[in-house]
Structure 1
Amino acid sequence: MTTSTPVVRPSSVSTLASSGRFGGAVGPAVGFSALLALSGPAAGEAYADSLCATDDRDREVCLPVPAGRIAALSPGATELVYAAGAGDQVVAVVDFSDYPPQAQAVPSLGSHTRIDMERLVALRPTLVIGWVTGNPSEQLEMLEALGLPVFYLEPRSFEGVASAIERLGRLAGTADAADREARRFRDGMIELRERYAGRAPVRVFYQVWDEPLMTVNDAHLIGSVLTACGGVNVFGDLERLVPRIGDESVLDADPEAILAGGMGEESREWLTHWEQYTNLTAVAEGNLFFVPPSLIQRPTPRLLEGSRLFCEKLEAARARR
């Protein structure tokens, strides 16, 4: 077997995104060292412009033909590939790739932080979608050394989400479907921002995790959602994207509303922790709001649904004044 070699080269164009079942059989087991030999390049490939895209590490990735076998190495990457209309081409995911539901039937390669490399190579992907800060760099670099095309993603803005869908559509040969979904997401976010523009500000604390207690700053994508809804992030000025704080910091900031996800899609225990602080404005006003984490903590089109929910919660806080 030989596989077509992708072209991967640095790009001078900065990407906008930068600013946790097995299916069919994959053939007999093959030793990892043998798989290295099976992945040799084929020279003289031609690349159409439509099959080139710049990833979120500012590298241009080009394919000789549309990617027909895609491995998505994070739950967010899985969602983005399906959003781009290429779900039928996904041959591997990682744990917690639970959306859309059909993704749960795709073979899982283990954790996004510990990928089963032998099984991955045996699946013969023609495109691997890596997460910039989510996957072990040494494993992705090894895949590239084998001649497998690795396309890095990690959207950090609304436009970055839409752009990621479009870029995946180009590489997968599903550009029409991808462009429609990107346009739906863009239009939805524009409408949301316009609807809540000029609303009275609400001072908000968003809780990412409980131990250690973590939040986001204004540069984080979730911080952008808060701003779009007319919220003022009480920790927006902190330097780190995901700062660690303590209860005392929240008490000092005295937010009018607290929004939190949890360890599951229906787990509200993080909010009950704050009920002990009866003098906290968010508690006194009854503004402790739960948001399913997958709707807001994955940079995918479902962020639009999560943003609408965020805005509704802040509107409820305004109504209680």
Structure 2
Amino acid sequence: MRCLPSLALVAACAAGNVHAEPVSATDDDGDTVTLAAPAQRVVSLAPHVTELIYAAGGGAKLVGAVSYSDYPREAQAVPRVGDNRALDLERIAALKPDLIVVWRHGNAQQQLDRLRELHIPLFFSEPHRLDDVATSLTRLGMLLGTAKTAQDAANAYRSKIAQLRATYAQRAPVSVFYEVWDQPLMTINGEHMISDVIALCGGRNVFAALRPLVPTLSTEAVLAANPAAIVTASQGATAPDRPLPALERWRAWPQLNAVAHANLYAIDGDLLTRPGPRIAQGAQQLCEDLQRARANAPSTHPTN
């Protein structure tokens, strides 16, 4: 259990309010985070975390966020504390947060170690499956004192995912190659949330068995897998350091099923790669694209 003092308790005691109830939630690292009172000053260290906090009803309590925390619109006015690769630890400390929500996969371990030295409660957010987004909402709602809003958001999200699953998951399977990057060529394995989205839509990730989470592979491996659809993330609000991979280059191999049947798709990366509530919108788009792939080449897909 990770039970750390909350700065909110100090403020409450100073005001003579000593009746606030403690709140607890288990984070994605498996630790229980306990605050003496609901958090009032929160710092988000990942864009998806910022979206989760707003959706859970805690946007007004957000006092700091990293770069690219651009949704919802109100988040753009939140003071910046660096980015995923380089945090401004002095700025974070100066904001006097009583809760910091971090992303283990994206925040450097060395900086996390330094954050611990501030003795401010850390909540780790690392959703891996689609339902983890709803769980994250309710857990953050407990720590923020916004449980009702968070539960409503989680219910709405689960309802949308359930609707997509009922509509698409049992349709004729479509083999899918998801391209993360082109140089080097990278994809995602079956433990990645995007792979969960592919399955939701009735797709099959052709590289699900690879390791690690985001493996590097060769063009020859893609040609051998011969996917029926190739999908990538297009540029959303988050502009990368260079243009996103252009799927057009795959047209050099017309023998690929995805190329022969024009099943090359790009989806707004902010809707598909951030493990927050808007991934339901990205899933909707992917499901519609894979349905087009079925229509484009019905003879290549076995029936149930």
Task: Check conservation: 2:235, 2:268, Cα contact below 8 A.
Answer: no
Specify the alignment match of 1:125 in structure 2: 97
Q: Which residue of 2 aligns with 1:271?
A: 247
Partner of 1:307: 283
> Which ranges of structure 2 fall in alignment gaps of 5 or more residues?
298-304
Which residue number in structure 2 is paired with residue 282 of structure 1? 258
Pairs within 5 Å for 1:15-54? 48=21, 51-54=23-26
Q: Distance in 2 between matches of 1:199 and 1:112?
A: 38
Question: Which residue is equivalent to 1:214?
Answer: 186
Deviation at residue 208 of structure 1 after TM alignment: 1.2
Deviates more, 1:135-144 or 1:53-62: 135-144
Cα separation, partners in 2 of 1:269 and 1:53, compared to 1, 3 Å: closer
* Distance apart, 1:210 and its partner CA: 1.8
Tell me the CA shift for residue 174 of structure 1. 0.8
Deviations 1:33-70 (A, max 9, x none): xxxxxx8x96x988745x10111111111111211111
Q: Which residue of 1 aligns with 2:209?
A: 237
Aligned to 1:275, the other structure's residue is in SS state helix
Aligned identity (percent) is 43
- State the one-letter code of the partner of 1:140: L
Task: Call closer, same or farther: CA 1:212–1:268 in 2, change over 3 Å.
Answer: closer
Relative to structure 2, which stretch is displaced further, 309-318 or 136-145?
A: 136-145
- The aligned runs of 1:54-73 (5 Å cut-off) are 54-73=26-45
Q: CA deviation at 1:214?
A: 1.0
The alpha carbon displacement at 1:96 in A equals 1.1
Give per-residue Cα distances to partners, 1:260-286, cap 9 Å, x unaligned.
114556967521121222221111101
Cα gap change, 1:263 to 1:214, in 2 (>3 Å): farther
Correspondence for 1:8: 2
Equivalent position amino acid for 2:98 in 1: T
Runs ≥4 residues deviating over 4 A: 44-47, 263-269
CA distance in 2: counterparts of 1:194 and 1:264, whole angstroms = 28
The amino acid that maps onto 1:295 is L
Q: 2-side partners of 1:208 and 1:101: how far apart?
A: 27
Deviations 1:120-143 (A, max 9, x none): 100111110111121122322333
State the distance in 1 between where 2:75 and 2:172 align: 41
Equivalent residue letter for 1:319: A
Aligned equivalent of 1:257: 229
The one-character-per-residue Cα deviations of 1:266-318 (angstroms, maximum 9, x if unpaired) are 96752112122222111110100111111111110011001111100000011
SS of residue matched to 1:82: helix
Following the alignment from structure 2 to structure 1, what is the Cα–Cα distance between the partners of residues 126 and 212?
A: 17
Q: Which residue of 1 aligns with 2:132?
A: 160
Give distance in 2, aligned partners of 1:141 and 1:196.
43
The structural deviation recorded for 1:150 is 0.9
Cross-structure match for 1:226: 198
How many residues align? The count is 284
1:104 equivalent in alignment to 2:80: no
In 2, Cα distance between the equivalents of 1:218 and 1:297? Answer: 15
Let me know the Cα RMSD of the aligned residues: 2.2
**Separation (CA, whole Å) in 1 of partners of 2:250 and 2:176:** 14
Are 1:139 and 2:139 counterparts? no
Cα distance 1:263–1:192, how it changes in 2: closer, same or farther (>3 A)?
closer
Q: 1:52 to 1:184 in 2, by over 3 A?
A: same
Code of the aligned partner of 1:168: L
Corresponding residue number in structure 2 for 1:83: 55
Q: Distance in 2 between matches of 1:269 and 1:147?
A: 41
Q: 2:269 aligns with which of 293, 308, 311?
A: 293
Aligned to 1:32: none
Within 2, Cα distance between the matches of 1:71 and 1:80? 12
Q: Which residue of 2 aligns with 1:116?
A: 88
